[in-house]
Structure 1
């Protein structure tokens, strides 16, 4: 450490003696909005730099001669300004650009187009392979959360939960191999079994810019095989700004289903030194979903082992806020505080009709179970899922001569609590059925005797309750140093980061059946929850115990049921230490090279439980287990950008990235299930998945604001993870089923993507107001297993074809857009054979949104989402065998947006 500090002091003394003029500049548009990705060039030396997210840049002007600074930005007029030397001093300068006017005296960049232009300029200036969406552009799509906005990006598919986009697939690569950061820092996960942040926690209202990094540089975190999504919150305004949006809409899937959203932004630079930006959002959605699930036999047939018909009634409320403060001590020293808070509550009731124990060969009977899920009176008789994710960061930037130092400490926490979650189940056995209607094999339906609707024939099966709690905490500190050499375009950058993580899941489960003597459903309050227009098919749910009756029960002196929760409880502590160094070198006027490496060391300790179902009766009987692991990854990096012209840019990258196993996969738990003759174990020996990546992208930018691009990517993976399963495991002198997550062999991912974004102003008349945005991504994967003979499987989560297209119309007052997103099916889970593999089915979404300018300050906005009524669907082995299908119907809203 002493040697490091001495070296930094030496650098500081050397660079402080150079007699240079430090230009601290900012580039804005005429509305005082920052222009990210603007190109700043000193004509005398040819030095080039670009502006950051907030339009800032720093240049060092050598000697005592005047310098001409040229600033260019696609869609805006280029400006030049002569700066006189001010040796040894820092100079602050503001540059304001005006939109380009074409030969017909038309402004190239209109108000509706401004977000698209900012995104394209930022993307053009990035040396690595990126796609960018600005906050303006996000607002043009019908997207209430960031996940929905992201599915418009080339190569992006979102996996849905309860009708909203939650997990991100990048270039056909599963969510487990991608990462999400907020202002450059990885966010913890609110879920207990993975590392992913839930994208439906974050509204688009509080985000300024989304940057999808498909290739990384050494100063970025290395756990991003598919890519890294960076969400940038609003900060550092140049003057006062206020904006507010309010919308109201309906959800036809439920009678009385409605949604509303209220969001606001207020920001100001209240002195030359201090500025703030606050964003807030409240979103409420009363809706539901119609669900059917089937399990088929492990062979090529339509024989059903189990069927479930589920009705969900959901109220989702999301509250989010972001407060950012910036303070400048002087031109060379500044600090900032950034915060983001997201809180989502899901109040849910579920009514599940379960058909199993099907005897199709002898007497033609089956069993029916009717289960109500609810919560206690404190949760309004609903099951509450309470998720939070928040982060606070304090950082600073300091210029010591030519040496720039920046640092940041951040604290982040994510949690999920599900208190007093209750279930009551009644069952009736040996109900006669005549046949299964397979007219439409995707929607099989049993023809059951009318006895299954008689409440007097149902006996109490069980009454249970559980409490679930999960949290993850990140404490991180990073420091970076940047030193220019030769000129402004060449620089050495190095730094370090420490991230300490803590994860814990603590669930508990009780049964109360013996405390109640209900002889049939006639002893409880019940109601018919069937829906005439059930979206998932012509199914009738029938009668169920009401949520008020279940929630009103006094549940005391329950029996602990270990096998329902003990295997899921664990603790994990992970420390990641990272060091990197990189040089950015301008080779001539057209080529820029980044060369460097990142070293990440990981140390993890974990605690789990070993449970024997035949022997363990109390918590004291359960054996606690522990384990640890540590490893080091060296990640070299070479990134090149070549500008053939100011419109034609080629980016190439050779990178190395990793994906750490999920915490729960590493926990050394062991579950011996005697009833089902099955053993399930964690795997403390799992290694991180490693990937060697190559990316090549060519982009041509149109003068009229647009682009056409094509890219190729290749990834070679080792040690990918998959679920190993065998039915030939020897235990207790018998053949049992054994399951464990393991490392596979090697896998390869190859693909390409193309994008076209353009105004169609060559068309006659009003058609010249149309614009098109489209992209297509193809991904091909191959895998090699170590412990399994199956070699014909694609990589889990890999999507072969992803397609997006949107057509928009824009006039002086009206903006309207229709968007389509389509993606192929993909392998979701590997089963014991091809007929037990689970696939996430293909999906197609169509959304429409519009904005009409009532005045210069007020817009009328409207949107319709999911016009195709696209369900969430999985199938088992064969496409016609529906494993799960869940419908949400379309929804719409209308509202006003005010900007001051």
Structure 2
């Protein structure tokens, strides 16, 4: 109901904002900031010289001059305590927006004579960009909406690949400085993003469309106003709210995968609603389905058993077709209105997105231990999303209400053949239908208010998130051959991990709120005091049921051996069910259901002080109180199965020394932490047929404390260009890592707190136009960029009596090096844009080793992407051709020990290996 209400709201706003007002005049829009600190200057005035037209900067520092006739103008900017600025050659074109951000210098004298600093439009734009780049309080990297627009990136996860020191795992999870997703945090529009995954701490960044992102900043060092639960980076995403002008934008795209599109595609049960991201309910358990107790204790009559089995979706047919091209559609509407004599602004940005893809992995190879498997995987994916942002700016105040809804429908069919010799030599035919429905609803209400005449500001935020992860009917069926030449028999004589149907449901609600207050204080040359409080409450409910049909071998009406040889399409035929050949069974464990909640309460105080024109220090303390309780049915529900109660003091200091007007030296120390996720604590055990292992939580995990130190030199040779080199070191106390138990034939993955762990590394980033080669327009319009990181880490495995192959190893997910590089070129007065991008990761641990097996390493692969865009129809339309992963190199995960492939026994050392296929896309965007 929540999602339907949001969609109705979005549609209402869409029809309200569809009316676009055509204007012959133009606008001048921008942001006014302090040249030394990049703090917004609330109330600064902007006027057009020689006219009475003017505007004041709002709480964001943004100003708007509307209804400006085409021509060139001089702007005059004033603010108490700052030098007046005069900017000439500001050109306004009919029906267009001229963007001009302005950096103001504080007054150098107390004399009564006014100081006027003169500048041109280009000089002012360059100066403001310099100020924004140089003046961040912490060591950070980021990417703007303009760079996002020029890259072949559909979503935020693709964008993050371009940020220095950042990589993406599984095409959606962020890894910063070689640290896995569990050591990174994320926020959207100022409110924390929840984990979208049921079995890990990770946010799936592929759900946020890239063209709705205003900017992305990754803070790699901490300040007290940031949440303390990260070590690699804090990813902060801001979506667009008040547009510069009214618009309607329509994007249509199609995609081609080299090994999937128009080729054979197989799937299980399908209905029309799957194309819209919703199961129609036929896969889920009916509301009156028998309870676990009724099934386990055999309390059902035969009639009730047959009725219950028939209420399940027993269509096991395999449907064949040709995979359709990927489809992408997006409609975005922006509307801005000026209200009243004070020209208060109300803005709306609404977007609807749809994506459907059908992809194939024709041969996924798993050759290790006793396994020699070849699998064909077919994934049908639908993604629908909606964004509805509203903002009202009045005087020194701004209120925003931002909403994001995303739903992902991933239905995967797997057909596996091969042998498993752990239980006698045999070949198998394994079928798995695996549907996962995920949804995220996130709403944020935020206010910013300028107070008094000293640029004081109060900012508050209220957030709500709802996460749903449903597995309505994961069904697995295995056929086994006893010996060569013998028939294959369905393994339905008992309920086991390869013959079970999983019905699971996860629902989590998150409520958060925070208040920040900042005020200039008379301390040193210039200081700002910032105080804040924050609170978050999380509540999760999870349950899973493991059901299955078991054949009655004592039934004399049928030849059981003949029935067991039936194909998957008829093995559970209605005639067999209705004649009582199958009974209903359930594997029950009291850990299959858990509920959990946590409270995080925090307060902080920080000072941002300029000791001189060159020295700036941001320092302070954050205190976080964390309480967590997790209950399962294996204990008295009044007594938590897992519990955490910690109060942590997190100091930080960030030092910046301005070596020159274009260069900074930075140093920082800060303490952060990492807390166990609910799933890592829950003792719930789940067999992952793709990993061929059981995942299980550890209730006794502790939180991790991390001490961090960073150094960085950064140089800005020109606006929008950078050269930087960084070094960092992190020491972990009680680092949370996977624990592998593989002494038996069945592997279990759990978690432990390592005795010690550390990581250190270096980062190098450069972005430069090529005009130093030649002064011609071609090189002026070409920008090269590259970032390179070198990382090292070490984890000491637990001393728990188990003799592991590796006493120490790198952190899971940590790449020893990361390379990103690219070329961007614009031509024909920016109508033609070309972008070529390259990425390579050093081999990293995907799956940590245990007693019998060494760690699994994901091997390096070269990734090449490019995009060509051309603007048409008076630049209102744009055609883009994009290609990603054009080299189509194989994903290869192998067991390694001491840098060499490791074969403990059995068939080989390949954990898994497959080709993803190259992707090509053609899209057209038109803005009305």
Alignment of 1:71-90 (within 5 A): none
The superposition leaves residues 472-493 of structure 1 with CA deviations (integer Å, 9 ceiling, x where unpaired) of 2210111111111138952111
- Closer/same/farther in 2, CA of residues 670 and 842 from structure 1, 3 Å limit: closer
The superposition leaves residues 102-134 of structure 1 with CA deviations (integer Å, 9 ceiling, x where unpaired) of xxxxxx99xxxxxxx998864433121111112
Q: Does 2:349 align with 1:274?
A: no
Deviation at 1:183, TM superposition (A): 1.4
State how far apart, in whole Å, the 2-side matches of 1:136 and 1:552 are.
62
The superposition leaves residues 135-186 of structure 1 with CA deviations (integer Å, 9 ceiling, x where unpaired) of 22122222222112111111111111xxxx1211101111111112111222
Deviation at 1:738, TM superposition (A): 9.0
Q: What SS does the corresponding residue of 1:799 show, helix, strand or coil?
A: coil
State how far apart, in whole Å, the 2-side matches of 1:552 and 1:640 are.
76
Who is 2:144 aligned against? 134
Q: Does 2:381 align with 1:316?
A: yes
Who is 1:896 aligned against? 924
Q: Does 2:271 align with 1:235?
A: no
The superposition leaves residues 68-96 of structure 1 with CA deviations (integer Å, 9 ceiling, x where unpaired) of 25899xx9989799999xxxxxxxxxx99
The two structures have a TM-score, normalised by structure 1, of 0.76
Deviation at 1:636, TM superposition (A): 0.1
Q: Is the 8 A contact 1:806 1:820 kept in 2?
A: yes
For 1:366, which of 418, 425, 445 is the aligned residue? 425
Q: Is the 8 A contact 2:380 2:410 kept in 1?
A: yes
The superposition leaves residues 808-860 of structure 1 with CA deviations (integer Å, 9 ceiling, x where unpaired) of 22212321121110001112333224743222322321111110122321111
Which runs of 5 or more residues in structure 2 are unaligned? 1-24, 43-56, 64-76, 89-97, 108-117, 264-322, 339-343, 494-498, 688-692, 902-908
Who is 1:19 aligned against? none
Q: Does 2:586 align with 1:561?
A: yes
Q: Is the 8 A contact 1:358 1:367 kept in 2?
A: no
- Closer/same/farther in 2, CA of residues 334 and 515 from structure 1, 3 Å limit: farther
Q: Does 2:506 align with 1:512?
A: no
Q: Does 2:91 align with 1:68?
A: no
Q: Is the 8 A contact 1:426 1:521 kept in 2?
A: no
Q: Does 2:782 align with 1:770?
A: yes
Q: Is the 8 A contact 2:466 2:508 kept in 1?
A: yes
Who is 2:765 aligned against? 755
State how far apart, in whole Å, the 2-side matches of 1:503 and 1:307 are.
39
Deviation at 1:253, TM superposition (A): 1.6
Who is 1:491 aligned against? 528
Q: Does 2:326 align with 1:259?
A: yes
State how far apart, in whole Å, the 1-side matches of 2:853 and 2:79 are.
74
Who is 1:659 aligned against? 674
Alignment of 1:177-192 (within 5 A): 177-192=183-198
The superposition leaves residues 277-308 of structure 1 with CA deviations (integer Å, 9 ceiling, x where unpaired) of 223321111212234343534xxxxxxx1122
State how far apart, in whole Å, the 1-side matches of 2:351 and 2:119 are.
25
For 1:40, which of 14, 27, 34 is the aligned residue? 34
- Closer/same/farther in 2, CA of residues 830 and 655 from structure 1, 3 Å limit: same
Who is 1:870 aligned against? 889
Q: Is the 8 A contact 2:181 2:201 kept in 1?
A: no
For 1:406, which of 459, 466, 477 is the aligned residue? 459
Who is 1:6 aligned against? none
Deviation at 1:205, TM superposition (A): 3.0
State how far apart, in whole Å, the 1-side matches of 2:174 and 2:80 are.
52
The superposition leaves residues 508-544 of structure 1 with CA deviations (integer Å, 9 ceiling, x where unpaired) of 1111131796857998885xxxxxxxxxxxxxxxxxx
Deviation at 1:692, TM superposition (A): 0.9
State how far apart, in whole Å, the 2-side matches of 1:481 and 1:387 are.
37
State how far apart, in whole Å, the 1-side matches of 2:837 and 2:62 are.
39
For 1:594, which of 618, 622, 627 is the aligned residue? 618
Alignment of 1:163-242 (within 5 A): 165-242=171-248
For 1:825, which of 833, 837, 843 is the aligned residue? 843
Q: Is the 8 A contact 1:349 1:547 kept in 2?
A: no
State how far apart, in whole Å, the 2-side matches of 1:794 and 1:816 are.
38
Alignment of 1:344-383 (within 5 A): 344-357=408-421, 366-374=425-433, 383=434
Q: Is the 8 A contact 2:230 2:674 kept in 1?
A: yes
Alignment of 1:297-696 (within 5 A): 297=369, 305-328=370-393, 330-357=394-421, 366-374=425-433, 383-401=434-452, 402=454, 403-431=456-484, 451=485, 456-461=487-492, 464-486=500-522, 489-514=526-551, 545=568, 559-562=584-587, 567-610=591-634, 626-667=641-682, 682-696=697-711
Alignment of 1:103-118 (within 5 A): none
Deviation at 1:801, TM superposition (A): 0.5
RMSD: 4.1
- Closer/same/farther in 2, CA of residues 786 and 411 from structure 1, 3 Å limit: same
Q: Is the 8 A contact 1:188 1:473 kept in 2?
A: no
Which runs of 5 or more residues in structure 1 are unaligned? 1-29, 85-94, 102-107, 110-116, 298-304, 360-364, 375-382, 432-450, 527-544, 612-619, 673-677, 730-734
Deviation at 1:890, TM superposition (A): 0.5
Q: What SS does the corresponding residue of 2:809 show, helix, strand or coil?
A: coil
The superposition leaves residues 175-234 of structure 1 with CA deviations (integer Å, 9 ceiling, x where unpaired) of 111112111222222322222112233332332211111112111110111111111111
- Closer/same/farther in 2, CA of residues 459 and 573 from structure 1, 3 Å limit: closer
Q: Is the 8 A contact 1:753 1:777 kept in 2?
A: yes
Q: Is the 8 A contact 2:787 2:821 kept in 1?
A: yes
For 1:783, which of 786, 795, 804 is the aligned residue? 795
Q: Is the 8 A contact 2:59 2:396 kept in 1?
A: no
- Equivalent pairs, count: 756
- Closer/same/farther in 2, CA of residues 422 and 547 from structure 1, 3 Å limit: farther
- Closer/same/farther in 2, CA of residues 521 and 288 from structure 1, 3 Å limit: farther
The superposition leaves residues 775-831 of structure 1 with CA deviations (integer Å, 9 ceiling, x where unpaired) of 100011123344257543122222111001112222123211211100011123332
Q: Does 2:53 align with 1:49?
A: no
Q: Is the 8 A contact 2:189 2:238 kept in 1?
A: yes
Q: Does 2:152 align with 1:124?
A: no
State how far apart, in whole Å, the 1-side matches of 2:648 and 2:363 are.
44
Who is 1:446 aligned against? none
- Bigger mean CA deviation after superposition, 480-489 or 881-890: 480-489
Deviation at 1:750, TM superposition (A): 1.1
The superposition leaves residues 455-504 of structure 1 with CA deviations (integer Å, 9 ceiling, x where unpaired) of x5444546532212112221011111111113895211111111000123
Q: Is the 8 A contact 2:817 2:841 kept in 1?
A: yes
Q: Is the 8 A contact 1:154 1:776 kept in 2?
A: yes
Q: Is the 8 A contact 1:243 1:899 kept in 2?
A: yes
For 1:841, which of 843, 859, 866 is the aligned residue? 859
Deviation at 1:550, TM superposition (A): 8.5
The superposition leaves residues 320-365 of structure 1 with CA deviations (integer Å, 9 ceiling, x where unpaired) of 121111123x413332211111111112222122411269xxxxx8
Q: Is the 8 A contact 1:682 1:740 kept in 2?
A: yes
Q: Is the 8 A contact 1:69 1:83 kept in 2?
A: no
Who is 2:819 aligned against? 803
State how far apart, in whole Å, the 1-side matches of 2:188 and 2:713 are.
28
- Closer/same/farther in 2, CA of residues 80 and 51 from structure 1, 3 Å limit: closer
Q: Is the 8 A contact 2:642 2:700 kept in 1?
A: no
Q: What SS does the corresponding residue of 2:153 show, helix, strand or coil?
A: coil
State how far apart, in whole Å, the 1-side matches of 2:119 and 2:334 are.
20
Q: Does 2:886 align with 1:882?
A: no
Deviation at 1:553, TM superposition (A): 9.8
Who is 1:445 aligned against? none
Q: Is the 8 A contact 1:251 1:257 kept in 2?
A: no
State how far apart, in whole Å, the 1-side matches of 2:62 and 2:154 are.
36
- Closer/same/farther in 2, CA of residues 727 and 57 from structure 1, 3 Å limit: closer
Q: Does 2:782 align with 1:715?
A: no
The two structures have a TM-score, normalised by structure 2, of 0.74
State how far apart, in whole Å, the 2-side matches of 1:71 and 1:412 are.
45
Q: Is the 8 A contact 1:249 1:893 kept in 2?
A: yes
State how far apart, in whole Å, the 1-side matches of 2:597 and 2:164 are.
36
